[in-house]
Structure 1
Amino acid sequence: MKPIAAAKLVPVQLYPLYGCKINAGFPSPADDYIESRLDLNEYLVRHKEATFFLRVKGDSMAGANIHDGSLLIVDRAAEPKHGDIVVAVVNGELTVKRLYRRGGVVKLLAENEAFPEILVKPEGELVVWGVVQHVVHSFG
């Protein structure tokens, strides 16, 4: 397994955030003003030094709206809890799955019935790299 390289700091880019909410039903006249400028790092990254990004390969998490090619924003500082979607290494394999932890039983669950659950046995190795905070999709 290769270590993750240290992140490079880049200048902050602020994007316009309009004050109106977009109507997903019938169109309505929108307020034509910018409410503020939005720093995506501030909006998406809670712990800068502990956050990393990963691109997804496969469709085992499609039921959680995580698809092949999705970009995950993962926080290593977040404490993994039952029900969280985590990036983990189990028995030497890197994966993204929903964490199940109840009554001493630990499992990693796919969000696609075509994939089996991963039961983490006491002698097995599970290392949670971080908790998925956001998913970014591209439509084009």
Structure 2
Amino acid sequence: MFSYRSSGLPSVGITLLPPPAAEHALRLALGPSSLLTLPPVSLKTPAGFPSPAADFECDRVDLLERLELDKPYVFMTRVRGQSMTGRGIDDGDLIVINRKVTPRHGHIVVAVLDNELTCKTLHREGDRVRLVAANPDFPDIVPKDGQELVIWGVVTSCIKSFGT
């Protein structure tokens, strides 16, 4: 029977970025001159012409606080591959991983199976666990007897760059 744990350390060759490296990666994703606190235009931003009232907004959104990048248990990494495109996570996106969130059915997780790291949706049915891709071209990962599945953290955010 395979073993399932919800914590542990990966033993694979990827770079998970803890603070302050995560802050630096966020600055790179947003642009070299960006601030980590940004003024919101409104709670619901229309895709049309912006309201002139938006110029009078004074509250700011602190991205470090919102993404919890200042916490020691929050990491970032860049996604490689197309298996999660159905959940809005594309090749090259930055994902924020929180190791304090308890992984539950339906969460997008970073998992380690036989020393291989992957980002998939956690699917639990009773004692059965599988990792589900969000792209029909990729099969589900079902741990077999003798394999150890470690849920390393829960993906809480995805940061995209549309290029300029």
TM-score, normalization by structure 2: 0.74
Contact 1:91 1:125 in 2 (8 A): yes
Matched residue, 2:19: 7
Alpha-carbon displacement from aligned partner over 1:22-67 (angstroms, at most 9, x marks no partner)? 212x436331213312210111118711100010001000000100
Q: Match of 1:27, as an amino acid?
A: F
Residue 4 of structure 1, CA deviation: 5.3
CA distance in 2, matches of 1:127, 1:47: 24
Distance 2:142 2:69 in 1: 30
User: Greater helix share, 1 or 2?
Assistant: 2
Deviation sequence 1:60-112 (CA, Å, 0-9, x none): 00000100001101100000001100001011100000001112111001001
CA pair 133-6 structure 1, distance change in 2 beyond 3 A: closer
Residues 105-130 of structure 1 deviation map (CA, whole Å, 9 limit, x = unaligned): 11001001111110023421111110
Aligned to 2:32: none
More strand by share: 1
Q: Which runs of 5+ in 1 are unaligned?
A: none
1:19-98 matched pairs, under 5 angstroms:
19=42, 21-24=44-47, 26-27=48-49, 29-31=51-53, 32-45=55-68, 48-98=71-121
Q: Which runs of 5+ in 2 are unaligned?
A: 1-11, 24-34
Q: Which structure exhibits the higher relative contact order, with contacts defined as CA atoms closer than 8 Å and separated by 6 or more residues?
A: 2
Query: Are 1:97 and 1:108, in contact at CA under 8 Å, matched by a contact in 2?
Result: yes
SS in 1 for 2:76: strand
Deviates more, 1:98-107 or 1:115-124: 115-124
- Amino acid of the structure 2 residue aligned with 1:7: P
Over the matched positions of the two proteins, sequence identity in percent amounts to: 40
Distance 1:82 1:21, change over 3 A: closer
Query: Once superposed, what is the RMSD of the aligned Cα atoms?
Result: 2.5
Query: How far, CA to CA, are the matches of 1:114 and 1:13 in structure 2?
Result: 37
Letter in 2 for 1:106: V
Does the alignment pair 1:16 with 2:28?
no
- Taking a change above 3 Å as real, the CA distance of residues 20 and 87 of structure 1, as seen in their structure-2 partners, is closer
Equivalent pair of 1:20/1:30 in contact (CA under 8 Å): no
**How far apart, CA to CA, are the structure 1 residues paired with 2:37 and 2:69?**
17
| Residue of structure 2 in register with 1:134 after alignment | 157
- The 1:8–1:37 alpha-carbon spacing in structure 2 relative to 1, beyond 3 Å, is same
Q: Structure 1 length as normaliser, TM-score?
A: 0.86
May I ask how many residue pairs the two structures share in their alignment?
139
Distance 1:7 1:30 in 2: 37
